[in-house]
Amino acid sequence: MANFHYQSKLKTVALLAGLLLLAAPAQAFDRETPVVQAVRKVGPAVVNISSEVEVHNQQNPFGANPFFDNFFKDFFDPGPQKRTSLGSGVIIDGERGFILTNAHVLERTATINVTLQDERQFEARIVGADADSDLAVLQIKSDQKLPAVQMGNSDDIMIGETIIAIGNPFGFSHTVTTGVVSAVDRSINSDDRVYRQFIQTDASINPGNSGGPLLNINGELIGINTAIYAKAQGIGFAIPINKAKRIIADLIQYGHVIQAWIGVVVQDIDARLATYLQRQDAQGVIVTQVEENSPAAKAGLRDGDLILSLGRTKINSFDDYQAAERAIAAGDAVQIAFWRDGRTQRSEIRTTTYPEDRAPQLAWRRLGVAVQTINPELRRRFRLSAKQGVVVTDVRPGSYLHHIAVAPGDLILQMDDQTIADEQQFANAMIRGRLKSSMLMLIQRGPQVYHLTVRLSP
């Protein structure tokens, strides 16, 4: 009987202990993860960019004929309509108010408004933009120091490491997505250009995210998100911040990117050249011209050399060579490997800026024209009434402009985003665009003005 009472007491104690365990609060997990800390740290530096752009709602029903374009605009087009284009950016300098974003976010902008996380609004100015890298720098003025992101290092990114993207997709402010680094050094084909050396992630990147920061787990800026690849689903891309740093410095100092000058003209290797070189498996690009007194000439390069690598980039095509050349800053010493006399040789090229006095030869070779500033003699010869621009005085046979019937007496008014008033501005625009494959130009003939995308010769 005593044993029965003893067992009953044990059961009662066990029951009470179980009830006490159930009543005790569950162990709390730390919800303030590194992701939360990173977002809290960087969030105030992420901005919303809205811009007013001019668009025409109606299409010309007569086709692409420039004459009917003008006729349609004069009589049927109701005029430009304004809409708001949303994007993101990140403050990289809180003292001076510099904001880093994508260049395509700012296309055809009129006024640009920037909204901070605390809802303060500023009107921004474009410091500089570079379409080739899809990067742009804005500036806003504030009486107080602005919050800014801390720069990271994109050269030590690890595949699989956690990343964080912050932006304003579809107008929703400060949306956070997370993922991992899926790949590095990706190339993207978009419209008429190839973007290279991108970080690939599985974090969602939408149009509103464009220009926003890609962060590592410590909240450091390792990339700028971009939504230039329209077919991407479940894939995000970002411009590595180490690639962007030189471009940012040039945009802030000069308003555009200063391209290094190497001084060679190259082309892809076709079957004929491979046979000539007696190498059917030939890789690289062949040097067809070494410019006199250029960095390449001083480094010992010759016509007929086969360039295999430039810096750390292996060269398999003309596009590879151009991308590698764009990544080099003026004044850099870069290693080059080339094939000559049956063996691989190496040299070092010390790059410089392109000499302004060579701009006329550059324009003749790549654009196919010779030009002069408007003067009284040219006004009489071509019956010109325009007050600014440069006059085409000669056109190279076989060039793209010759093919589309540009002729002496035509005026060049604009090249890409630069207005052309004289030969000096023409030379500057030519040097700036010398590594491009095409250029947007504004050309006038008589009273008619045409926007043309002009292909540049190699």
Task: Look up 422 and say whether it is catalytic.
Answer: no
Contact 396, 368 (CB under 8 A): yes
CA gap 332, 322 in Å, rounded:
16
Count Cβ neighbours within 10 Å for each residue of 218-252 and write b for 16 or more, e otherwise. Answer: ebbbbbbbbbbbeeeeebbbbbbbbbbebbbebbb
Q: Which of 41, 47, 223 has the alpha carbon at shortest distance from 149?
A: 41
Is residue 385 flagged as an active site residue? no
Active-site choice (88, 210, 309, 399): 210
Catalytic choice (50, 88, 104, 399): 104
Tokens of 379: 């006004």
**Position of tokens 């926003």?**
212
Residues 42 and 152: their CA atoms lie apart, in Å, by 13
Phi and psi for 203 in degrees, rounded to 5?
-75, 140
Phi, psi of 137 (to 5 degrees): -120, 130
Catalytic residue among 130, 132, 134, 305: 134
Q: How many CB atoms are located within 10 Å of the residue 378 CB? A: 18
210 an active-site residue? yes
**Cβ atoms of residues 442 and 413 within 8 Å:** yes
Which residues have C-beta within 8 Å of that of residue 223, sequence separation ≥ 6?
154, 199, 213, 214, 238, 239, 240, 241
Q: Which residues are catalytic?
A: 104, 134, 210
